[in-house]
Amino acid sequence: MSGLSNIKSHIQTFLKEIGELSYFTARFFKESFRKPFEFKEFLRQCYSMGNRSLVLVGITGFIIGLVLTLQTRPTLMEFGAVSWMPSMVGISIIREIGPMITALVCAGRIGSGIGAELGSMRVTEQIDAMEVSGTNPFKYLVVTRVLATTFMIPLLVIIGDAIGLYGSYLVEHLKGDVSFQLYFNQVFESLEFGDIIPATIKSFFFGLAIGLVGCFKGYYCGKGTAGVGRAANSAVVFTSLLLFIIDFIAVFAADIFYDL
């Protein structure tokens, strides 16, 4: 009984968060069309996000490509289908694994960073200081960061995909003596627009979610240093959950769309 009511209260909190986040999102869209646009801060954010997560995205992408190929190789061998490896790995990385892993890594790296940064700015009254000095802090801090993640995550996904495929190629090259050209020819031959477009659209939404949740948690941070820690932490948890939900919706929608 208490377990059930516990679950109920968890769901209630979650739905309340979703409601507040929707309101925050609406404000984001409204304010992003208002002048002036803080272009310099936007570029600075893009640069620092790319700078902070490129290596991490590269390493995880590389390892995923490597491991995926090593793990599936024996099974494909059994069926005499090793030559399908590039198509299989290409499709799974580009459609699903690349965007998802990159977004999860960035939720941990970028999302928590935004949550902590804005949280500490809230707690130390820097956001208030900005507001009284005539700069709209929502535009200066939130709009620039959310646009930066929306722009940078797809870019990082492409880089992660490329490095992942390269990792997979290395395994094929060492174990099956496949040439670079042959491998990537096969990858691109098996890919269709139906693989690339939904994955790209999905990545934009992943970026939007990471930026929005990080900013939302930081902007309405609770009091004190404990509040900042909680903001950073819950930004990651909430974003990760949201990423899976978006992924589910995206796959579902793409499936319906291509059935037509």
Partner 1 sequence: MKESNTILPQGKVTGTQEIVLEIKNLNKSFGDNHVLKNFNMKLYKGENLVIMGKSGSGKSVMIKCLVGLIQADSGIISVMHKDITTLNQTALDILRSDIGFLFQGSALYDSMTVRENLEFPLRRHSSRFEKNMDTNTLVMEALENVGLAHAIDLMPAELSGGMQRRVALARTLILQPKIILYDEPTSGLDPITAKEIIILMQDIQKKYNTSSLIITHDVDCARAISDRMVLLIDGTNYAEGTFDALSVSTDPKVKAFFKH
At closest approach, how far in Å is the CB of 40 from partner 1?
Answer: 10
At closest approach, how far in Å is the CB of 217 from partner 1?
Answer: 18
Among 125, 189, 192, 255, binds partner 1 (CB under 8 A): 125
| Choices 13-21, 128-136, 146-154, 219-227; region in contact with partner 1 by CB under 8 A | 128-136
| Choices 99-107, 127-135, 165-173, 175-183; region in contact with partner 1 by CB under 8 A | 127-135
Separation between Cα atoms, residue 103 and residue 121, nearest integer Å: 25
Query: Other CB atoms closer than 10 Å to residue 32's CB: what's the count?
Result: 15
126 binds partner 1 (CB under 8 A): yes
234 binds partner 1 (CB under 8 A): no
34, 134 contact by CB (below 8 A): no
106, 156 contact by CB (below 8 A): yes
181 binds partner 1 (CB under 8 A): no
Separation between Cα atoms, residue 203 and residue 150, nearest integer Å: 8
128 binds partner 1 (CB under 8 A): yes
For partner 1, give the closer residue by CB, 137 or 154.
137
The angle that helices 144-176 and 193-219 make with each other, rounded to 10 degrees, is: 140
Q: Which helix (H) or strand (E) holds 176?
A: helix 144-176
Name the site residues for partner 1 (rule: CB under 8 A): 117, 120-121, 124-126, 128-135
